[in-house]
Structure 1
């Protein structure tokens, strides 16, 4: 129900959103690393459509801005945060400027059939075109793009994950967007009913005592520094 009601939850939670940003504003101002609020994670469900996206995202953004004008507002895309292509034909209409960020997610399993059904070069081309048409084009329009989730099985035993990561690191270096990796956690106390579940996509090992895959950490370090001027 929560999944299908994503936009409705946002529409009836504006007072709570405003209260949260106001009540925490002094605390947030004291922490320079807290720079923005993402309005909704991985939109999906029966109420997911472009009209609802514009209606509730813009409403939510104005609510956050009026409560705390010093933080960035982050907009996620449709279809599990994969698709912002509709912004090619219509722009967001807000009362403020220079603090809007768009975010996207991408994984190897997102395009599983493509990685499995094509040679690597063809698969890379297909996924590249899809990412560019749905999210990457925003950079050419002058908007900040934040790929706020990507990752892989760091045991490096998943062939499709390995193909995806080779592609993604090259694509990220070319477009020079900001990013955050899923995940830091090495394990969970309990998840999906399982105690001590290991997170094989996690940067840390099972007991959080060290890095799971130092080689992978070295690989992602290649896209940590900006490759283009602001």
Structure 2
């Protein structure tokens, strides 16, 4: 039995016992994560190859029912444009190649909102602004948003507003 077969057998048995397992795609190289300099945190880092990440998601999606796209995208290279470039690709890979098209879970939003880390402070607002716009439009495709729409959101200062104000603005549109 290979490691993957053993892993699958354990997950299958946990499922039979009523437990759901979400495989956590944590890091590219096995080491402690999430330091600013861990070289694993964001697309294009020394140890984070986007194409390898996408291939891995496809392989896991074909074998299992759930996987996180990546735990805590972070580091000095993080930026909203690459997030919007790669996350939809990863999500599409999982949903198109796996046998479970829904649900999509969003988690790991318990990071520093004190303002000490600029990336942590801004990420959730960027993400939820886009998610709220998509939800309000009901059928907007992320690829159709393009960088122009994102630039408009940023120009309006939505990345610096509290979430409740962003949601209220989107709901009014």
TM-score normalised over the length of structure 1: 0.36
Structure having the higher helix fraction is 2
**What is the TM-score of this pair, normalised by structure 2?**
0.45
- As a proportion of its length, which structure holds more strand? 1
- Greater RCO between the two (CA within 8 Å, min separation 6)? 2
Structure whose alpha-carbon radius of gyration is higher? 1
